[in-house]
Chain A
Amino acid sequence: MRLKYVMSEVMVGLWRNVTMTVAMIITMAVSLTMLGASGLIYAQVKDMKAYYYDKIEVAIFLKPEITDDQRTTLEGSLKSDPLVREVIYESKDEAFKKFQTMFSDVPAVVDAVKPGQLPESFRVGLKNPEQYQAVREAYVGKDGVDQIIDQRNLLEKIFNILGSVQTMALVAASVMAIAALLLVGNTIQVAAYSKRREVAVMKLVGASNWFIQAPFVLEAVVAGVLGSIIGFGALALGKVLLLDGSLSELTDLLTPLSWSKVLVMLPLMALAGTLVSSITAWVTLRFYLRV
C-alpha cells in the first residue's frame, strides 16, 4: 500500500507539472551525455596509450657518411643498453620500400623520391617509453648519428586533442548539470507548494519524515533516471552514426570503441543522474518543507 501510494504520488507529481518535467529530463539527458562522452574519451585514451606505447619506437637516423665501424659500435652499445628492449636496423632500401607502400596511393610523391635518398636508421623499442629523454641524451652526439625522433611526440599531439575534447565535454556537462540542478530545485519547490495542504496534514497527524519527503525525492530521481537512459541512447546513437558511420575513416586510425565500454556508461550515468537529482531534491526540501 505504502509503495503504491508513493508511486502514484510520484506519477501525479510528474504529470502535474509536465513541461517542467520534460525540461528537467532534457537538461539532465544532455548533461549526462556529455559526462558519458568524456568518460568514453578518458577510457579510450587510456586504452590507446597502453596499445601504442608498446609499439612505438625511437628512430635514430644515421648520417649518409657513416662508416661500418661506427655503425657496428652504435648497434653494440644500443643492444647492451639496459633501457632498450629491442633494436631493428633499417637499411636505405628497406626505408624506401616502406615509403613506397606507405604512399602507394600518391604516385607523385613516390616518383619524387629515389632509392638511396632516404636515410638508414635504427628502430629502437624502449622498455619504458617514458625514458625517451635519457636515451636521446645518450646517443644524440655519437658519431654517425644524424637525428633522433621519438614517435611518441606524434601520439602526444593526438592525445592532447582528445584530452581537450574531453575537457570541453566535461565543462559542457557541468554547465548543463547546474541548469539541471536549478530545474530540479524549482520543480521540487512547485511540487511542495501545490501539495502544501497535504504536507501540513501529514505533519500534523505524525507521518514520518521519509514518508512526506519520499514522493518529492523520487519524482526527481525518476526524472534523473529517465534523463540518463535518454543520454545513454544519445551516446549509443553517436557511436553508430558518427564513429561507426560518417567518421569511420578517422576512427580507423584510433583503436575501435567497443560496445562494452559504451554499456559501462549506462550504470555510471544512471548513478550520476540519481545522485545529483536526489541530493538536490533533498536539500531543496530542507528549505521548503521544514519537516
Chain B
Amino acid sequence: MIQLEHVTKTYPKASRPSLDEVSVGIEKGEFVFFIGPSGSGKSTIIKLLLHEVQPNKGRVHVNGRDVTAMRSWKIPAFRRQIGCVFQDFRLLPNRTAYENVAFALEVIGKTKAVARRVVPEVLELVGLGGKEHRYPHELSGGEQQRVAVARAFVNRPLILLADEPTGNLDPDTSIEIMRLLDRINRTGTTVVMVTHDSNIVNQMRRRVIEIESGRIVRDQARGVYG
C-alpha cells in the first residue's frame, strides 16, 4: 500500500537531511506508528505521502502509484484517497461540525444530497451524534478532533494519516481518539500515525517504526515506545 525506497529529503538551508536513505513498506490494513524525538524527520514522511514535499532522492509509492513522478494536476484526485488528521484539528471556525464535514465533500464535487446522507452517518460513527450543529468553539478538544477524523474519513479513504493527533489532548481523551482510529483501521483502512506519546504506543501494541536523525533505528511488529 505504501512503499518508500531509499528516500532522502533535505530541506533547503538544512545542514543535514530530514530523512536519510529511508526504505519502508506498509501493507494494506496495517496500523503503523512512526515515533522519534522532535525533528527526527517523522512528520516529513506524512508530507511526502501527501505530495506536499518532494524527496531529493528515492521513490514513494502509494496505492501502486509513483507519487514522486506524479503530474501536479493529478494530485487532487490522488489526495481524495487519503484522509488526514493533525494536532491542531484544522477545522473551519465559522462552520458547524456538520458543515465542516460536508465542506470536504462539497469541494470535491459531491452534491448536498450526498452530504445529507453521509455526514450524519460518519458523525454518528465518531461519536458526535446530536452535536452536528455545534461550532468548533462550542466543542471540547477531543470532540473537535473527532470532527476532524470524521472529515478525514467521510470520503472512505484507503489511507488515514495522523500527524500527532493526540498532541493537544489530555490522556483520557487521547485514548478515546485512539479507539476511534482503531475502529477505522478495522474497517480496512491503513492508518499511519506520527506521535511521541509513549502511553498510547505502549497501550496499542501495534507496529512501531522509530526514526532518529532521519534514519530508521527500529521496526517492530508489536512494539512499545521503548
B106 near A5 (CB under 8 angstroms)?
yes
**Given A1-B112, A204-B79, A205-B79, residue A197 in contact with residue B92 (CB < 8 A):** yes
Among B77, B93, B112, point to the contact of A206 (Cβ < 8 A).
Answer: B77
**Interchain nearest-CB distance for B35 vs A (Å):** 24
**Given A1-B112, A201-B104, residue A206 in contact with residue B90 (CB < 8 A):** no
Q: Quick one: CB contact mask for A1-42 with B, threshold 8 Å, 1 for yes?
A: 110010000000000000000000000000000000000000
Instruction: Please count how many residues in chain B sit with their CB below 8 Å of the partner chain's CB atoms.
Output: 23
Q: Which residue of B lies closest to A5 (CB)?
A: B106
Among B77, B90, B106, point to the contact of A204 (Cβ < 8 A).
Answer: B90
**Interchain nearest-CB distance for B188 vs A (Å):** 20
**Given A201-B90, A201-B103, residue A206 in contact with residue B80 (CB < 8 A):** yes
**Is A67 interfacial (CB-CB < 8 Å)?**
no
**Is B135 interfacial (CB-CB < 8 Å)?**
no
**What is the CA–CA distance of A202 and B106 in the complex, to the nearest angstrom?**
10
Among A1, A207, A211, point to the contact of B111 (Cβ < 8 A).
Answer: A1
Q: Which residue of A lies closest to B73 (CB)?
A: A209
A205 near B155 (CB under 8 angstroms)?
yes
**Is A208 interfacial (CB-CB < 8 Å)?**
yes
**Interchain nearest-CB distance for B6 vs A (Å):** 27
**Is B226 interfacial (CB-CB < 8 Å)?**
no
**Is B25 interfacial (CB-CB < 8 Å)?**
no
**What is the CA–CA distance of A2 and B73 in the complex, to the nearest angstrom?**
19
**Interchain nearest-CB distance for A3 vs B (Å):** 12
**Is A47 interfacial (CB-CB < 8 Å)?**
no
**Is A149 interfacial (CB-CB < 8 Å)?**
no
**Interchain nearest-CB distance for A256 vs B (Å):** 53
Beyond the given A1-B112, A5-B106, could you list 9 further A-B residue pairs with CB under 8 A, ordered by the A residue number?
A1-B106, A1-B111, A2-B109, A197-B93, A204-B50, A205-B108, A207-B76, A207-B108, A211-B109
Offer 27 A-B interface pairs, CB within 8 angstroms, sorted by A: A1-B106, A1-B111, A1-B112, A2-B109, A5-B106, A197-B93, A200-B90, A201-B92, A201-B103, A201-B104, A201-B107, A203-B79, A204-B50, A204-B84, A205-B79, A205-B104, A205-B107, A205-B151, A205-B155, A206-B76, A206-B77, A206-B82, A206-B108, A207-B76, A207-B108, A208-B108, A209-B76
6 closest A-B pairs by CB: A206-B79, A206-B80, A207-B107, A205-B104, A206-B76, A208-B76
